[in-house]
Amino acid sequence: MNLSDKDFLIVGRAGMDFYPDPPGTRTEDAESFVSCLGGSSANIGVALVKQGCKAALVTRVSDDAIGRFAINQLDRYGVDRTCVKPVGGEARNSLAVVETRMEDHQSVIYRNGAADFEMTVADVEAARYSGRSALITTGTVFAADPSRTAAFRAFDLARSADIPLIFDIDYRPYSWTSPQIASDVLSRAGDLCDVIIGNDVEFGFMAGDYEKGLEKARTLAEQGKLIVYKMGEKGAITFHDGDEIRTGIYRTDALKPTGAGDSFMGGFIAGLANGHDVKSAVLRGSASAAMVVARVGCAPAMPTTLELEAFLANHPGPTE
């Protein structure tokens, strides 16, 4: 898998995040909020751009001020939004109200009538696949139609263009009508992908038994896939070319628990694209995650390459 062209197409959502200000404030006590770009796919795009890659997003946003906010933010960060289209009617952009605090952390997600679920087959067919390094998706994009059908169509187009498929399981129960449907659809998506990233709970969910997540990861790896099996504070196991690579985490003074998954994906894929071997790329993803949870926001918190290099140079290193 050669990602050296560093040009990625991402199918997924862009939204708005609200953070009670100043950091540490509970939402119900807040008198002011800080807004920033949100949505897992948009965050991954920002992370990639900040680390020297190109990223283009395919999604739908609401045809209102909040949708235009998301578009303006994508422009600000340099994420190509040529294929980000507005949708009218009752569709609304996703909104996350997220606290910058670890103790009794609260996140409130508004996803009713989500605009990104209105993405169509025509939307993904309008994107360019030829010459891309890879197609990246997260599990949320498969949670409802027409987005689900459109995302699988994007998989077909990526295969036809001979580019790899990279998948973050990113299971969020509130987006799905039932756990069984989610398990079936996410397993189908995973079977089609070349790289799968998820935590132990998500792999267990795909396996239909939370005790069998590691077994599921190994089974997928035996099919020739690159698998990153994340275990929180215990680090990760990466399955690649018959090897099991164990890596730790970078300890940090976290301000919040959110944003780690998106920043890991961005740092890991950018690491591979920038010529690092698999283990080094995983560690760069882990370091990126440590940096983001210690900062306010997600998209604005994503580290640049220079920031990441400085962090790695000054940190005592990952846990064993």
**Beta partners for 20?**
33
Residue range 186-210, pLDDT digits in tens? 999 999 999 999 999 999 988 888 8
Q: CA 319 to CA 249: how far, in whole Å?
A: 5
**Beta partners for 18?**
35, 97
Which pLDDT band, with edges at 50, 70 and 90, does 278 fall under?
very high
Q: What is the mean pLDDT of residues 17-46?
A: 96
Whole-structure pTM value: 0.96
Question: Cα separations (Å) of 158 from 10, 68, 98, 235?
Answer: 11, 28, 34, 31
Answer yes or no: is pLDDT of 86 > 90: yes
The pLDDT > 90 percentage for the chain reads 92
Domain range 7-314, CATH class: alpha beta
pLDDT at 291: 97
pLDDT at 2: 85
pLDDT at 206: 87
Of residues 74 and 4, more confidently modeled: 74
Beta strands at 165-168 and 134-138: parallel, antiparallel or unpaired: parallel
Contact call for residues 5 and 128 (beta carbons, < 8 A): no
pLDDT at 149: 98
Q: Among 94-98, 309-313, 316-320, whose mean pLDDT is lowest?
A: 316-320
Domain boundaries, the chain: 7-314
